[in-house]
Amino acid sequence: MLSQELINNVILAALSTGGDFAEVFVENTYANSIKMLDGKVEDGISGRDFGVGIRIFQNLRSVYVYTNNIEPNNLIRVAKEAASALQGNPTVHDLVLNRVTVENNHPIQLYPKDVSKVRKVELMSLAHNVVSNYDSLISQVEIGLADTEQHILIANSEGLFVEDQRVRTRLMIQAVASKGNEKQSGFYGPGRHAGFEIWDQLDVEHYAREAARTAVTMIHADHAPSGKMPVVIDNEFGGVIFHEACGHGLEATSVAKGTSVFTGKLGQKIASDLVSAVDDGTIPNAWGSLNIDDEGNPTQRNVLIENGILKSYMIDKLNGRRMNMAATGNARRQSYR
């Protein structure tokens, strides 16, 4: 993507005014999506996102810049402009980058880019037909198919130089059931950190039936009773509910600033004995799993809550400095920007 020599020079330029840590993040992502409405392809979109982000730390201060112009002179200029936000003398005069080989826990058998659009549409049509034929109350079916192939390179002033690729594919099935003036929907969106081969392994017809069943069931459903009652959280959307209610509070971005209810409570009981929570980025081919996080750290299994006791947080490099704790391998970037 970029030569090791160029990245070395960019990092040194970033450290030219007293920064104590600098990092280069390079991203090259190809994305494709197809939308089908009621059996007809509405649109197909393909795009590429390519660029470089440069980050500098000076103690607890942080500067970030990005560009999609990878000409060497421009990258050096951008790095120096970022460094100009800091004041001091350079502390690093030489740098040796050591290439790290990543163990791939997510092997790809069939890259989506090698699959014809005809085959992709056939998969979508299969899901559409199952939903539309499920019940006469089904009034609309929307199918989406998306895939991304992301290549990243991360290097920093600690000597790290590592590359990785992430390939994801996802099928989105939405069914709408209508009865009189009432409409209800059902959704299923299976996806994996895997190639197109996953659709030969997963039961697409099952997912389509589940989306349709949900919509039709909701049309016939009574209003839910009010009041206090036991709740069972499943391992699918229930995980999203848990994340929104509790997971954000376990992220170092809020813990380090003291804005989380869990700040300063390590080792304390914060939940029922029945509650344990794990952030695991190592599950093969799982949607949220990675070989390395977006700071170049290997992902790992982090026990956050164990039998109601707060055990750890999800920690990135900068907030780890603020908390005097090590990074836990779950740093994420939306993109290089």
Q: Inform me whether the pLDDT recorded for 90 exceeds 80.
A: no
Per-residue pLDDT band for 238 (boundaries 50, 70, 90) equals confident
- Burial pattern 218-244, b for ≥16 Cβ within 10 A else e, equals ebeeeeeeeeeeeeeeeeeeeeeeeee
Mean of per-residue pLDDT scores for the chain: 96
Q: What is the pLDDT of residues 133-163, one digit of tens each?
A: 999 999 999 999 999 999 999 999 999 999 9
For 94-181, strand residue ranges (E) read 98-100, 138-156, 160-179
Sign of the dihedral defined by the CA atoms of residues 69, 70, 71, 76, in that order: positive
Domain ranges of the chain: 4-220, 237-323
| Structure confidence at residue 91 (pLDDT) | 74
Topology given in CATH for the domain delimited by 4-220: PmbA/TldD fold (3.30.2290)
pTM, entire model = 0.93
SS3 (DSSP) at 233:
coil
Name the residue among 143, 163, 189 with its Cα closest to residue 26: 163
335: β partners: none
Higher local confidence (pLDDT), 268 or 243: 268
